[in-house]
Copies of this chain bind each other. A is one copy, B any other.
Amino acid sequence: MHPADIAKSIHDSPDIAEKRRLFEDIASSSTKAHVLSELSSEHVVQVLRGIPLTELSALIKELPRDDATDILRVLPQEAVPAILRGIAHEEAAQLECLLTYPKRSAGGVMTTQYVAIHQDATVDTAFKAIQKSSIEEMIYEIYVTNDQGNLMGVVALRALLRASRKARITEIMDREPIFVTTETNQEEVADKVARYNLLSIPVVHPTGKLMGIITIDDVVDVIQEETTEDMLRMSGISTTEQDDPQFYVSGLQEAKRRLPWIFVNMLGSILAGYILWFFRYTIQEVVAIISFIPIITALGGNAGLQSSTLVIRSLAIGRIDRRDLWTLCVRESWVALLMGSICGGVILLITLAWHAHVMLGVVVGFSMTLTFLIAVVMATALPILLKYNGLDPAIAAAPLITTATDIASITIYLMTATVLLSSLS
């Protein structure tokens, strides 16, 4: 059974005792280690609880350094020094160094296991370096450095295979490799790797020294993580960093995670409710007004959510940036006017058929069009403004947009109704 499949069965088991039994039943400690690296952090903690420190050290030793660091990050921090003491000194020092980088930076994702050779070397030396290396991670590129250890170039394994054994490495290397620094955010790393179709990307210290590499299989995990986080934020499930939709945490923990946005929503909708209450005399006078409240608020919210999703996703995959704000607002306003006037027209006809009240139809139709326009412009501008103030645009989605459009649509509708109906009745 592949470690990923064992990890899946552990994920799927209903209770912790069963999860731990499954994990302890794994015969080889190398498989055990690889299963660990496939588990979500919550599960790592659960299956490792109570396992002797010496055994933990043995498991950590089996893993590629980037995966080892991920495991060490989620274990109780007071246990880490003891676990590292059970590992060869040099290896422990490497892990300790990797642990100093923030989790979601390039330094926090990279591994220091790669093959680097000096720029004076030949292709033959490079071959020998690969054959000698004990790295279990995939090698598909080797890195060329100078006396200071600065990154000078990259050679694809394929280019190495095709070159003459006597050629100098500088003759076949790519002299302008794409790289990131240890501080680069993991989302930006993923963007670069995806955009330039890279297999791995070197990570350098701001001084130019080669510090590690990030391989594409880890970038795939980063993309999944960041997308999950965006989607959970967009629907108001969480405002903190979340790698994983969690179904195994208790209902109470989950309710705690979701309630903050529900409360924001409650505050906003109390305001919307207050506005309805404020206009109660208008409503009592023309009671048919109430039959359009759900229509105006639902459609406004939906139109806003369409725009914000489009903008948030386009920002995430690098399709638009701040400079596009004006163009986008113009385009979206045009879309809103089109949709708003079509929906407004339909609603006007429905009002005539339902309540036989021409002026009410005009009020509803006009409010609908204006609501679309305001909802869409807010939903387009807000994510972009958030992003360029260093906030995550995803938090601008469902909870904020729908609350804001509820308030706007009810105000527009009832103000229009009060003005037009009273001036004409």
Contact status of A403 and B298, CB under 8 A, knowing A14-B327, A223-B223: yes
CB distance from A261 to the nearest CB of B (A): 7
Cα–Cα distance between A265 and B297 once the two chains are bound (Å): 11
Q: Do A252 and B338 contact each other (CB < 8 Å), given the known contacts A306-B258, A343-B266, A398-B305?
A: yes
Partner of A346 from the list B196, B266, B298, B350 (CB cut-off 8 Å) is B266
In the assembled complex, the Cα of A127 lies from the Cα of B157 at a distance in Å of 12
- Nearest chain B residue, comparing its CB with the CB of A270: B295
Instruction: Decide if A320 is an interface residue (CB 8 Å cutoff).
Output: yes
Kindly state the interface size class of chain A when it binds its partner: 35 or more
Stretch binding the partner chain, chosen from A48-56, A205-213, A274-282: A274-282
Q: Is A44 an interface residue when CB atoms closer than 8 A count as contact?
A: no
For residue A181, CB closer than 8 A to chain B, the reply is no
* A4 neighbours in B (Cβ, 8 Å): 195-197
List the B side residues contacting A139 at CB < 8 Å. 157-158
Any B CB within 8 A of the CB of A108: no
Q: Which residues of B contact A310 (CB under 8 A)?
A: 232, 235, 237, 245, 247
Q: Is the CB of B309 within 8 A of A237?
A: yes
CB-CB under 8 A from A398, the residues of chain B are 302, 305, 398
Please indicate the chain B residues that have their CB under 8 angstroms from the CB of A339 in the complex: 255, 258-259, 262
Query: In the complex, A293→B303 CA distance in Å?
Result: 20
Given A273-B291, A334-B251, the answer on whether A138 and B156 have CB atoms closer than 8 Å is yes
Chain B residues in 8 Å Cβ range of A251: 331, 334-335, 338
Asked whether any CB of chain B lies closer than 8 Å to the CB of A57, the reply is: no
For A211-229 the 0/1 string (1 means CB < 8 A from B) is 0000011011101100110
- CB <8 Å contact, A262 and B299: yes
Cα A220 to Cα B309 in complex, Å, equals 21
For the complex, is A292 an interface residue (Cβ under 8 Å from B)? yes
Kindly name the residue among A268, A269, A406 whose own CB sees the greatest number of chain B CB atoms within 10 A. A269
The answer to whether A196 and B138 touch across the interface, beta carbons within 8 angstroms, is no
Find out whether the CB atom of A295 lies under 8 angstroms from the CB atom of B309: no
Assuming the contacts A295-B269, A398-B305, asked whether A314 and B247 have C-beta atoms less than 8 A apart, the reply is yes
Known A294-B273, A334-B251: A319·B157 in contact at CB below 8 Å? no
Main secondary structure of the interface of A (DSSP, over half): helix
Q: Closest Cβ of chain B: how far from A218's Cβ, in Å? A: 9
How far, in whole Å, are A245 and B220 apart by their CA atoms in the complex?
Answer: 21
Mask for A358-396, Cβ within 8 A of B = 1, else 0?
000000000000000000000000000000000000000
Is the Cβ of B302 less than 8 Å from the Cβ of A231?
A: no
User: B317 near A224 (CB under 8 angstroms)?
Assistant: yes
Instruction: Tell me whether A306 and B235 are in contact (CB under 8 A).
Output: yes
* B residues near A130, Cβ cutoff 8 Å: 158, 161-162
Q: Which positions in A face B, CB cutoff 8 Å? A: 2, 4, 8, 11-12, 14, 127, 130-131, 138-140, 156-158, 161-162, 178, 193-199, 216-217, 219-221, 223-224, 227-228, 231-232, 234-237, 244-245, 247, 251-252, 254-255, 258-259, 261-262, 265-266, 268-270, 272-274, 276-277, 280, 283-284, 287-288, 290-295, 297-299, 301-303, 305-306, 308-310, 312-314, 317-320, 324, 327-328, 331, 334-335, 338-339, 342-343, 346-347, 350, 398-399, 402-403, 406, 410
17 contacts across the A-B interface (CB closer than 8 A): A139-B157, A194-B224, A199-B216, A216-B217, A224-B317, A245-B319, A251-B331, A251-B334, A251-B338, A258-B303, A261-B306, A266-B343, A272-B295, A272-B298, A273-B294, A277-B291, A297-B298
